[in-house]
Amino acid sequence: MSKWWKERIVYQIYPRSFQDSNGDGIGDIPGIISRLDELKELGVGVIWLSPVYKSPDIDNGYDISDYRDINPKFGTMADMEHLFAEAKKRDIKIIMDLVINHTSDEHDWFIKSCDKDSPYRDYYIWKPANPNGGPPNNWTTFFGENAWEYDPKSDEYYLHLFHEAQPDLNYRNPKVIEEIKDIMRFWLKKGAAGFRCDVINLIYKTSFEDGIHRTAITGREHFVSQEGMHKILQELHRDVLSHFDCFTVGESVFVSLRDAKMLSDPEREELDMVFYFDHLQVDRMVEKYIPKKFNASKLLRILTKWQQGLDWNAVYLENHDQPRIVSHYGNDSEYWERSAKLLATLLLTLRGTVFIYQGQEIGMTNFEFTNISQIDDLETLGVDRLLKQFWIPQSLRYKMIMPCSRDNARTPMQWNAEPGAGFTTGEPWLGINKNHAIINVEEQKERTGSIYRFYKSMIGFRAISNTLKYGEFAPVYSDKRVIAYTRTIPGEEQFSVILNFSDKPATSPFEGSLVGKVVVTNVGRDTYDGNLAPWEAVVLKVW
Ligand code: ISL
Ligand code: CA
């Protein structure tokens, strides 16, 4: 069934790095408003706003201390209302980041909850020490440490699957669920068109037994995608979401296809789509810090599994937690421009709602961090500490963590070649990539053949093509470097997409659905004969 949220392009804004309006070096809401025309021009139909709520910013806003207030760094509630109004004028919808697995430890609920006799005690997960002493169980956090924090005052521990300043809410308490419903209604009434739900498949903890020991996130079998979570999501849908014209995308970690299917099955009325990570881990071992060789066949296998396995996908290659895709699966030096266009071709020819992360549309690259002092990301700092404990030398540590640091995606947006990159007139909160002198919006908007222009035209092409939006996906060919797939509306139209993920020329078979008229090219070719240049992307109209 067609829906507006299946057809619009979603653009993720990481507010602190998007546009600063007052020279304090931190992006803000008035800054976003000043760039709305720009987003409209690119073809954006929805903004996903990373958290702008009141927060002590231990994890850059993913630690909320008041869900109904705005972080003063970003502006005021009046600014936020102004943003909704200005976006609406341009027919751009906004989805909010709903971070409800945990709050900040400065949230009023948590402060009250530290008192053993408070009615808020049960809003969080407090447990006495293990009978043998020490934390209640062996669970570990996403940032590498034990997941329990001791509170000497009440002589108990509270659970935090992320930083200790991010205590997990207790979803066995119906009052917590009612609070969350109220928060959702608050934002939907203000004009939000839905939510991106942070680590939503972790909210329900089934038991508190020790987990099977793992190098990371021990205990996960007790809290990933539990039955209790499905029930809660159905309740939120029934009592809140179903009363508004909105959509939800749930970030789901360690999610299996089966669980993702249940989460996004329209019949079950939980979420509309989910973010999963499989397709970004082709060149990673189970632990993302250990690299392995990229293999295009494997990428196509994973894409096929999810494209065909789910009714509707959330399609993305970047977000604020991932390295820049051109530095990850592309080539950010010699073939920077061509490989970024190949990745744009991939993104915009898959079936699902397309998400673009700020800066992706100009091929922003990873930052060359040379020292841990340049890093703000909690996760990178945590992993560095952990590796140090294993006596891994600094050079090797940096080699492992820097290419994956979440800060690669968090450096300020590169608007122009000026010293502050058009992002700020002040001192930016996180280093600006030196390459903004070359890689920036201003330059690319003006130049025919730029990555920006390529994104814009692919977005335009998708907007008028039912086949790209809704057509069936089928794999056609792959080897270590090349993948090819088709998008088809039976009896109506078929496209095939052929991509060479390598610095070397390659070939694809030249028969069947791999023959057709060239409709998209990143090398300026008129006809296709089965020979691909390095990093070439071509879309053929087969019939
Ligand atoms: O970033 C990751 C992989 O590099 C993930 O492990 C990530 O921590 C996980 O996907 C959860 O992410 C979300 O919740 C976190 C927050 O730090 C992230 O920014 C957010 O996207 C806690 O709220
Ligand atoms: Ca600012």
Ligand 1 in reach of 198 Cβ (< 6 A): yes
| Cβ count within 10 A of residue 458 | 24
199 lines ligand 1 (CB under 6 A): yes
Looking from the CA of residue 319, the nearest atom of ligand 1 is 21
Query: Which pLDDT score is estimated for 287?
Result: 73
Interatomic CA distance for residues 324 and 360, integer angstroms: 7
Cα of 422 from ligand 2 centre, angstroms: 13
Q: Is 245 one of the annotated active-site residues of the chain?
A: no
Verify whether ligand 1 is closer than 6 Å to residue 321 (CB atom): yes
Distance CA 116, CA 121 (A): 6
Residue nearest to atom 20 of ligand 1 (CA): 198
Cα–ligand 1 centroid distance for 72 (angstroms): 23
Does ligand 1 have an atom closer than 6 angstroms to the CB of 233? no
Q: Whose CA is nearest to atom 15 of ligand 1?
A: 62
- 14 ligand 1 Cβ < 6 A: no
Nearest ligand to the C-alpha of residue 277? 1
Task: Work out whether strand 156-159 and strand 247-251 pair parallel, antiparallel, or are unpaired.
Answer: unpaired
Angstrom distance (rounded) from CA 458 to CA 10: 14
406 CB near ligand 1 (under 6 Å): yes
What is the Å distance from ligand 1's center to 160 Cα?
Answer: 13
pLDDT in tens, the chain (543 residues): 899 999 999 999 999 999 999 999 999 999 999 999 999 999 999 999 999 999 999 999 999 999 999 999 999 999 999 999 999 999 999 999 999 999 999 999 999 999 999 999 999 999 999 999 999 999 999 887 899 999 999 999 999 999 999 999 999 999 999 999 999 999 999 999 999 999 999 999 999 999 999 878 999 999 999 999 999 999 999 999 999 999 999 999 999 999 999 999 999 999 999 999 999 999 998 778 888 999 999 999 999 999 999 999 999 999 999 999 999 999 999 999 999 999 999 999 999 999 999 999 999 999 999 999 999 999 999 889 989 999 999 999 999 999 999 999 999 999 999 999 999 999 999 999 999 999 999 999 999 999 999 999 999 999 999 999 999 999 999 999 999 999 999 999 999 999 999 999 999 999 999 999 999 999 999 999 999 999 999 999 999
59 lines ligand 1 (CB under 6 A): yes
d(C-alpha 67, C-alpha 107), whole Å: 9
pLDDT of residue 522: 98
The model carries a pTM of: 0.98
Residues 180-204 have pLDDT tens digits of: 999 999 999 999 999 999 999 999 9
Residues with Cβ within 8 Å of 64's Cβ and at least 6 positions away in sequence, in order, are: 51, 53, 54, 55, 99, 103, 104, 107
How open is the CA angle 361-362-367, to the nearest 5 degrees? 115
- 155 catalytically annotated: no
Q: Is 272 in the pocket of ligand 1 (CB under 6 A)?
A: no
- The one-character DSSP state at 334 is T
Residue of 199, 287, 375 with the most ligand 1 atoms within 8 Å of its CB, for mutation: 199
Q: Name which residue sits closest to atom 4 of ligand 1, judged by CA.
A: 321
**Which ligand neighbours the alpha carbon of 59 most closely?**
1
Distance 58 CA to ligand 1 centre (A): 13
- Burial class from Cβ neighbours inside 10 Å (0-12, 13-18, 19+) for residue 529 reads exposed
**Ligand 1 centre from 136 Cα, in Å?**
24
| Ligand 2: centre distance to CA 318 (Å) | 24
Ligand 1 contact via 142 beta carbon (within 6 Å): yes
For ligand 1, mutation pick of 64, 142, 214, 355 (most atoms within 8 Å of CB)? 142
How many A from CA of 314 to the centre of ligand 2? 31
